[in-house]
Amino acid sequence: MSGPVDGSVVHLVGAISLIQRFPALAGVDLEVRTGEIVLLRGPNGAGKSTLLRLCAGLAPLSNGVGSVLGHDLTVREQRRRVRRETGLLAHQTFLYDDLTVEENLRFWAAANRVDEGTIEPVLDRLALAGRLRDVKIAGLSAGQRRRASLAVMVSRRPKLWLLDEPHAGLDQAGRDFVDDLVKHAVGFGATVMIASHDVHRATDLATRTVTVAGGLVEDEGQDPPEDRADRSAASEHINPDGTDPDSTDPDGADPDATGPDGPGPGGEADSDSTEQEGDRDAS
């Protein structure tokens, strides 16, 4: 058995994670080092969210070797430390519907033992400081909830950021802000893992891309150069003047968006990415 090397933030060998009785992760090998921004791509149901939850210490490590930030995921005490030191932006917001934005942030700040003073600037930057501050979460739009959830996560100052579809449901400014946050966090020594279907944006941000499918991880390393060129050309085609690619996506009625099964055997990265665009829009 190989242990994590120095500078290793996520170290998984043959990691299996069972959700109910279903092997959502079926033997993942993954190594993430400090300061990396790793993009996880893959079709719906590939296991991206479970992989992030495993790294957060929430999904069980049913078999295999796994350590995060040097803490062994199989040991209960150490898993608790993993939870404290990581930040998860999940599909679920972890917010209380009947509390206002500010009350939620104050509660979670106290729960996370964060100084309440730090939430003001975060509220400001996420455009939650004005009228929205005193609105109940139940009265917010999906994108606004996501901002509030992000605010809670950021205020935790985690060492490992686990972002599940961070761009989904956010407007242009919100997406830019997410990207800025990620770069900023890495500048301060954090490590980031992003699961995203917004390939254009996320690949620009990421230092490495990893494909998840069938509960396994395929490390692509740096994208092949010709692939990358193709993609940026495509991106210019879709997005000539810097508007939100998703709002003007010509593939809106994407014939590729056939189903959740993702690429067939030997599916190429390129056809892959268009398919995920379709997926993303559908959600």
Q: What are the residues binding another protein (CB under 8 A)?
A: 16, 18-24, 26-27, 46, 56-58, 60, 76, 80, 83-84, 86-88, 90, 92-100, 103, 107-108, 110-113, 136, 152, 156, 211-216, 218, 220, 261-269, 272
Closer by beta carbon to another protein, 219 or else 244: 219
CA distance 206 to 183: 10
Q: Minimum distance from CB of 92 to another protein (Å)?
A: 3
Closer by beta carbon to another protein, 87 or else 278: 87
DSSP 210-278: EEEETTEEEEEESPPHHHHHHHHHHHHHH-TTS--TTTT-TTTT-TT---TT-S-TT--HHHHHHHHHH
Going 127 to 132 to 137 to 138, the CA torsion angle's sign is negative
Closer by beta carbon to another protein, 67 or else 273: 273
Q: Minimum distance from CB of 87 to another protein (Å)?
A: 8
In contact, 133 and 123? CB cutoff 8 Å: yes
In contact, 202 and 210? CB cutoff 8 Å: no
The two tokens of residue 226 are 């010709």
Q: Minimum distance from CB of 57 to another protein (Å)?
A: 8
Q: In what order do the strands lie in the sheet with 63-68?
A: 22-33, 8-19, 63-68, 71-72
Q: Minimum distance from CB of 16 to another protein (Å)?
A: 7
Closer by beta carbon to another protein, 33 or else 84: 84
State the alpha helices, DSSP H only, in the chain: 48-55, 76-85, 101-111, 119-125, 142-155, 172-187, 199-205, 225-238, 269-282
Q: Minimum distance from CB of 153 to another protein (Å)?
A: 9
Q: Minimum distance from CB of 7 to another protein (Å)?
A: 24
Closer by beta carbon to another protein, 117 or else 264: 264
* Residues contacting residue 93 through CB under 8 Å, at least 6 positions apart: 137, 145, 146, 148, 149
Closer by beta carbon to another protein, 128 or else 269: 269
The two tokens of residue 257 are 């968006």
Q: Minimum distance from CB of 218 to another protein (Å)?
A: 5
Q: Which residue has the tokens 């692509």?
A: 220
